[in-house]
Structure 1
Amino acid sequence: MNAADICIIKRDGKQESFSASKISNAIGKAFQATGLEKQEQLIEEITRRVIAHFTHPTLGVEEIQDLVENELMKVQPEVAKKYIIYRQWRNTERERKTQMKHIMDGIVAIDKNDVNLSNANMSSHTPAGQMMTFASEVTKDYTYKYLLPKQYAEAHRMGDIHIHDLDYYPTKTTTCIQYDLDDLFERGFHTKNGSIRTPQSIQSYATLATIIFQTNQNEQHGGQAIPAFDFFMAKGVLKSYQKAIVTDIAFYMEMKGTPIDEKALTEHVRKHLTSIEPDAKAQKAFLAALANEGCFLTEEELAHILHSAHKQVRKDTHQAMEGFIHNLNTMHSRGGNQVVFSSINYGTDTSPEGRMVIEELLQATVEGLGTQGEVPVFPIQIFKIKDGVSYSDADYQKAMTDFEAALNGGMTFEAPNFDLFLKACRTTAKALFPNFMFLDTPFNQNEKWNPNDPKRYRYELATMGCRTRVFENLNGEKTSLGRGNLSFTTMNLPRLAIEARREAERTPGNQSQEAIEQHAKELFLQSVHRMSEFIGEQLYVRYQYQRTALARQFPFMMSNDVWKGGGKLNPNDEVGDVLKQGTLGIGFIGGHNAMTALYGTGHGHNRKAWNTLYEAIEEMNRVADEFKQKYGLNYSILATPAEGLSGRFTRIDRKKYGIIPGVTDRDYYVNSFHVDVKEPISIVEKIKCEAPFHALTRGGHITYVELDGEAQKNVRAIAKIVKVMHDEGIGYGSINHPVDTCHNCGYRGVIYDKCPICNSENILRMRRITGYLTGDLNSWNSAKRAEERDRVKHH
């Protein structure tokens, strides 16, 4: 057939005359991309072969490109690969243009799709939520086109990696932060419209903590955390107690007809009564000081006043904690009509004031929100387990002899906060929080921790509730305070395994199943190493972009020294090296699916699969260590908390590879190194299986177990599970169980279809999504809803 008579049908349906030069040019670009120059004769020969296959007067563009691929594969397979990649990239770019309008139409129509439901914390159908989603999608497109180097944009689009929070990329902001509240409170801080003085009561302490959460949240795209909530609030408890004593004594003395100078009284109270449980010596010294002022109180009168002040401060502390929880669940101050993604860590302040904060916080959490006591979603709460402080094996064994008595205050323990640990377990059974952080797990320890240091919390690991961990530091103090994650990117682990297995099966000489598996494992580990290096470089590129931000872009975080070092910058200074204390996370998803692709089964009960996954994460760590030395930055491996990503990779891979049983046959990939959510495995087995991976994922990790609804009635079982986590070396763990609340009558428990009390179907179903809770499964994307349905209970 004469080439001059050929008509080409383009993708938009238009027709144009055939041009052989267009084929030659495309093939030439593929040769150049492979590094092959001066191949004009071969290119012309391939072009002639393509034309020789023309059998119809009209041909589609895709048909011609298929012919080009086939001919290139015959003579230059490496060039063919480049041509295929380029073709896929161009298709993706074209699809993106048409998809954008489709996405915008879906936002306008408030469709229940995975774009609108990408963040379960956001009400995407509200005007603010819609605007946030519009902005997010448009900004991602801008980032792809103009900010990301092509190789990283291509890898993200194709599903090799996922660069998180691309919509925030142009803003140069960081992910998250953990506040040094003590520093902020003592110095005071300023916002856009004024300065805040040091707070003087527990109510003010709690309120200002909420304000800090809300103000800083809008300068970052991730979560915000308080690493030592009990220590930071304790001062507020003491101040309220001292204020109550001054008020009570002044009133009492006025009633007796001998008024006292309140200023002098206040000074004496602050000097002598430095605890809400002052000992006899302190009380005697205080009475003597009052006597010198002409104010005479008996020991009995003082005891009555102190008792009254203690009752008052407990009431004030409870109201402060109640208000703190209510504010963080009702003040939609984050972009897109969201509440703040907030976390608090506590459990190791043994002072009476810190203990009171913990007690009243736990009580307020159990009481819940509103008149019906709904389970609060925020803040995510983390109870810190520390041997000799909030836990001991001896105390555990003692408590188990009569657990009800231990739980209800009928025992004394050697660890001063062990009773609070038991109360934390009871709260978890009711409200799913707190989660548990294990400070004595070897990789969570800090050699500077000293039980006699009043600020020992500086050397205690704290975490973001979703799991992000910031602790080790090449460029400063090993601490969680005043630092956060800069950015993280996740690799598609199942894809690497699929490709490795297929290549091993194609390799001549691999006759036996064992040979195929061994070769596939070698290829897989090599690809994990390469992909980790690829992500490491991408994170460095993003870091270099982030450090060009000006301090005035983050007025609260930098000028108040929330991110340590930022306070030294002038508004027009680049943030630069201030960011070096942050972390860069190389993440991964789908360990179970990857192992199934290699071995036909996951790592939950297959030792060969478990060893391979462990070696893969070791390989990632080797790369992280290399990049730490190369760039002097805090690279770490992150067990990615995948929400929208769990379905995105799966959809792309199913389209590319088809349905592979156990790999791409569901709507989601299983999170990080977690055992398959559908796999029947005992609580102890699951913990033992996952615990060793925590030491390798120092950018963040979590292990959870899934219980049935009886957990609310069995606090003892919660304590046993936490002990197993403690003994097996878990870094951070949580316990899931269904918590349902009837909107009509307030009944709380496991509700299947209808409320057993009032027969209502209007049920709030509280579940954990990646580390935080959501009370409406309809706000979850399709992949996470599918995963939640598949979760088996562990026994």
Structure 2
Amino acid sequence: MLTKIRKRDGREVPFNIEKIANAIFKAAMAAGGNDYSIALKLAEQVVSELEVEYGHTVPGVEDIQDTVEKVLIEKGHARTAKEYILYRAERTRVREMNTRLMKVFEDLTFKEAAENDIKRENANIDGDTAMGTMLRYGSESAKQFYDLFILKPAHSKAHKDGDIHIHDMDFLTLTTTCCQIDIEKLFKGGYCTGHGYLREPNDIQSYAALACIAIQSNQNDQHGGQSIPNFDYGMAFGVAKTYARLYRQNLINAIEIMTGSNEHEKDIQAIFKSIEEEHDRKPSLNSKNTSEAYKKLEAGYLEEIIKDKDIIVKAQNFAEKRANIETERRAYQAMEALIHNLNTMHSRAGAQIPFSSINYGMDTSPEGRLVIKSVLLATEAGLGNGETPIFPIHIFRVKEGINYNPEDPNYDLFKLACRVSAKRLFPNFSFLDAPFNLKYYKPGHPETEIAYMGCRTRVIGNVYDPEREIVYGRGNLSFTSINLPRLAIKSGRNIDRFFDELDRIIDLVIDQLIERFEIQAKKKVKNFPFLMGQGVWLDSEKLGREDEIREVLKHGT
């Protein structure tokens, strides 16, 4: 009489015929049956055969399942047998995956990164740290779950076989890849990171700090790189504010020293306010015509409270000179801090350096030029011990009429960029006059200037909204690679077979990417508090917290 069975781990446990009957009944119901008594009779037949075959030995789980299949087929229950076989295969797959996952966990726990490929999979994560290892635990678990329950079997098989590679599969159901952040729009009025509201910055150093925070915050909403497409244009506002503040403070200081009194400070502050409100003018950096016009306007106001014109001229010249020097210094320090921050700050559970890139080179304003010069010089200087900074990735835009020819206004910065690149590998260069870039370019519209993300991808064409072929607020949704060398090897030098198989794989990848998009499209704004909640992604500011992101996601690629 059968009293025990042997589990897969070797343990012997009491035999229970109901478990066999229940398994048969589940398979029968899947095939359209509903009579438990038949399942019980079939289970009794299974027991009879087991007792004959195994006698006084203890059968294993696999032995019992083999016998169930045999009995179902012999007794004419082919459809039930098919469902049982499928169920058994699925359970086997689950067990195998769990076994593999536990092995992965074991290696992550007890092996160093030097001995474990998974710990070294992402160069931006230190796999030997506690947070780095914890991140890998979550990542590998997610991949196994998606493979088991989310991916279509055909997609899963192609990925496992190496015909395709589904990138960032650990984020399959969670988010998109990357975005190009319009910092000019983001900084206006300030923004919220989810843990507090940041005021609009008023100094170049604050601008640099908030740029880093924006990259860090958006990295927590996406799994890929973060790019600032208008770094020079956006940061130029910070330089302008810094210069205006320093000029005004130096003017007040100079007048106080020259007159020997601070009684004019409130009146001078009122003059600054009047000029700004009535004439929409502020002190501006290194632009001779603008600067002289402003000083002349300002002098007219100052003469009402300071009768000595010589004092006014000297004070203005002093303020201008000191403001230029101090603004240059603060701009350099701001860029130096930005580079240091982007190479040291973490996101995602404190384990990953954000993958960041910045695009610049086209702003010909004095403020924009200072930003470009400062970030290049800070990059050339390197990190604390002179190391080459890994981040941000720099992309210097090259354009005839802007910086390509000796007579162009930013040609000196192009030469500086070449010098820095020769030493530090950055910046990379993008050429806006290339036909595939030039067709999108509209002079005076920085949003049409080609920008690149960390992985060197670009987003500009827009089949969803052809009127908005711009770079700001757009990015990549998902990637899947096709393994062409493997395809060629499998084709055995048969070119027709190669292209037939390539067509099949392309169709499969299209299906897989559309399926992934459908998952992403069902997400809501609240799932991306910074990317969507702060209007970083194009048109996301039109959505409410509970709205799906399907339509705005179509701006991506």
Q: Deviations over 1:374-411 (max 9, x none)?
A: 1111111111111221213xxxxxxxxxxxxxxxxxxx
Taking CA–CA contacts closer than 8 Å with sequence separation of 6 or more, which of the two structures ends up with the larger relative contact order? Answer: 2
Match of 1:362 in 2: 376
Aligned-pair CA distance for 1:304 = 3.1
Report if aligned partners of 2:440, 2:460 keep a CA contact under 8 Å in 1.
no
Aligned-pair CA distance for 1:301 = 4.3
Gaps of 5+ in 1: 1-9, 15-60, 62-86, 393-412, 502-516, 584-795
Q: Deviations over 1:667-725 (max 9, x none)?
A: xxxxxxxxxxxxxxxxxxxxxxxxxxxxxxxxxxxxxxxxxxxxxxxxxxxxxxxxxxx
SS in 1 for 2:103: helix
Match of 1:150 in 2: 153
SS in 2 for 1:487: coil
SS in 2 for 1:361: helix
Q: Deviations over 1:713-769 (max 9, x none)?
A: xxxxxxxxxxxxxxxxxxxxxxxxxxxxxxxxxxxxxxxxxxxxxxxxxxxxxxxxx
Report if aligned partners of 1:246, 1:265 keep a CA contact under 8 Å in 2.
no
Report if aligned partners of 1:128, 1:337 keep a CA contact under 8 Å in 2.
yes
The one-letter code matched in structure 2 to 1:303 is: N
Aligned partner of 1:286 among 286, 289, 295: 295
Aligned partner of 1:482 among 443, 460, 473: 473
Match of 1:385 in 2: 398
Q: Deviations over 1:102-139 (max 9, x none)?
A: 21111101332111111011001111111100000111
Over 3 Å counting, the alpha-carbon distance change for 1:486 and 1:259 in structure 2 is: same
Report if aligned partners of 1:347, 1:417 keep a CA contact under 8 Å in 2.
yes
The one-letter code matched in structure 1 to 2:298 is: A
Gaps of 5+ in 2: 1-6, 12-61, 63-87
Match of 1:423 in 2: 416
SS in 2 for 1:369: coil
SS in 1 for 2:478: strand
Aligned partner of 2:430 among 427, 437, 449: 437
CA distance in 2, matches of 1:447, 1:167: 35
CA distance in 2, matches of 1:244, 1:274: 9
The one-letter code matched in structure 2 to 1:558 is: M
Q: Deviations over 1:66-85 (max 9, x none)?
A: xxxxxxxxxxxxxxxxxxxx
Match of 2:21 in 1: none
Are 2:499 and 1:494 equivalent residues in the alignment?
Answer: no
Report if aligned partners of 1:383, 1:436 keep a CA contact under 8 Å in 2.
yes
CA distance in 2, matches of 1:342, 1:273: 33
CA distance in 2, matches of 1:253, 1:542: 66
Aligned-pair CA distance for 1:335 = 3.7
Aligned-pair CA distance for 1:311 = 0.6
SS in 2 for 1:524: helix
Report if aligned partners of 1:272, 1:286 keep a CA contact under 8 Å in 2.
no
CA distance in 2, matches of 1:90, 1:386: 60
Over 3 Å counting, the alpha-carbon distance change for 1:89 and 1:13 in structure 2 is: same
Are 2:376 and 1:414 equivalent residues in the alignment?
Answer: no
The one-letter code matched in structure 2 to 1:561 is: G
Task: Count matched residues.
Answer: 468
Report if aligned partners of 1:180, 1:481 keep a CA contact under 8 Å in 2.
yes
Are 2:135 and 1:132 equivalent residues in the alignment?
Answer: yes
Over 3 Å counting, the alpha-carbon distance change for 1:280 and 1:101 in structure 2 is: closer
CA distance in 2, matches of 1:281, 1:429: 36
The one-letter code matched in structure 2 to 1:345 is: N
Match of 2:198 in 1: 196
Aligned-pair CA distance for 1:93 = 6.6
Are 2:540 and 1:566 equivalent residues in the alignment?
Answer: yes
Match of 2:73 in 1: none
Over 3 Å counting, the alpha-carbon distance change for 1:240 and 1:359 in structure 2 is: same
Over 3 Å counting, the alpha-carbon distance change for 1:12 and 1:468 in structure 2 is: farther
Over 3 Å counting, the alpha-carbon distance change for 1:572 and 1:135 in structure 2 is: same
Q: Where does 1:734-749 land on structure 2 (aligned, <5 Å)? A: none
SS in 1 for 2:407: coil
Over 3 Å counting, the alpha-carbon distance change for 1:288 and 1:157 in structure 2 is: closer
SS in 1 for 2:554: helix
Match of 1:576 in 2: 550
Aligned partner of 1:320 among 296, 311, 334: 334
Report if aligned partners of 2:167, 2:478 keep a CA contact under 8 Å in 1.
yes
Match of 2:224 in 1: 222
Q: Where does 1:435-584 land on structure 2 (aligned, <5 Å)? A: 435-450=428-443, 453=444, 456-476=445-465, 477-501=468-492, 517=493, 520-583=494-557
CA distance in 2, matches of 1:133, 1:321: 33
SS in 2 for 1:214: helix
Match of 2:76 in 1: none
Match of 1:103 in 2: 104
Report if aligned partners of 1:268, 1:290 keep a CA contact under 8 Å in 2.
no
CA distance in 2, matches of 1:426, 1:523: 49
Over 3 Å counting, the alpha-carbon distance change for 1:281 and 1:434 in structure 2 is: closer
CA distance in 1, matches of 2:462, 2:187: 25
CA distance in 2, matches of 1:166, 1:214: 21
The one-letter code matched in structure 2 to 1:415 is: D
What is the RMSD computed on CA atoms of the aligned residues? 2.9
Report if aligned partners of 2:404, 2:411 keep a CA contact under 8 Å in 1.
yes
Report if aligned partners of 2:230, 2:358 keep a CA contact under 8 Å in 1.
yes
Over 3 Å counting, the alpha-carbon distance change for 1:289 and 1:266 in structure 2 is: closer
SS in 2 for 1:170: coil
Aligned partner of 1:259 among 258, 264, 287: 264
Q: Deviations over 1:501-554 (max 9, x none)?
A: 2xxxxxxxxxxxxxxx5xx12221222222112111110111011110111011
Over 3 Å counting, the alpha-carbon distance change for 1:281 and 1:213 in structure 2 is: closer
Aligned-pair CA distance for 1:287 = 2.7
SS in 2 for 1:384: strand
SS in 1 for 2:429: strand
The one-letter code matched in structure 2 to 1:421 is: F
- Identical aligned residues as a percent: 42
SS in 2 for 1:424: helix
Aligned-pair CA distance for 1:159 = 1.6
The one-letter code matched in structure 2 to 1:351 is: S
Report if aligned partners of 1:381, 1:434 keep a CA contact under 8 Å in 2.
yes
CA distance in 2, matches of 1:524, 1:269: 72
CA distance in 1, matches of 2:154, 2:421: 45
Report if aligned partners of 1:244, 1:313 keep a CA contact under 8 Å in 2.
yes
Report if aligned partners of 2:201, 2:238 keep a CA contact under 8 Å in 1.
yes
CA distance in 2, matches of 1:284, 1:472: 43
Q: Deviations over 1:549-590 (max 9, x none)?
A: 11101111111100112122221111121100011xxxxxxx
Aligned-pair CA distance for 1:186 = 1.5
Aligned-pair CA distance for 1:282 = 4.3
SS in 2 for 1:485: coil
Report if aligned partners of 1:549, 1:574 keep a CA contact under 8 Å in 2.
yes
Aligned-pair CA distance for 1:336 = 5.4
Match of 1:20 in 2: none
Over 3 Å counting, the alpha-carbon distance change for 1:12 and 1:528 in structure 2 is: farther
Match of 1:588 in 2: none
Aligned-pair CA distance for 1:11 = 9.8
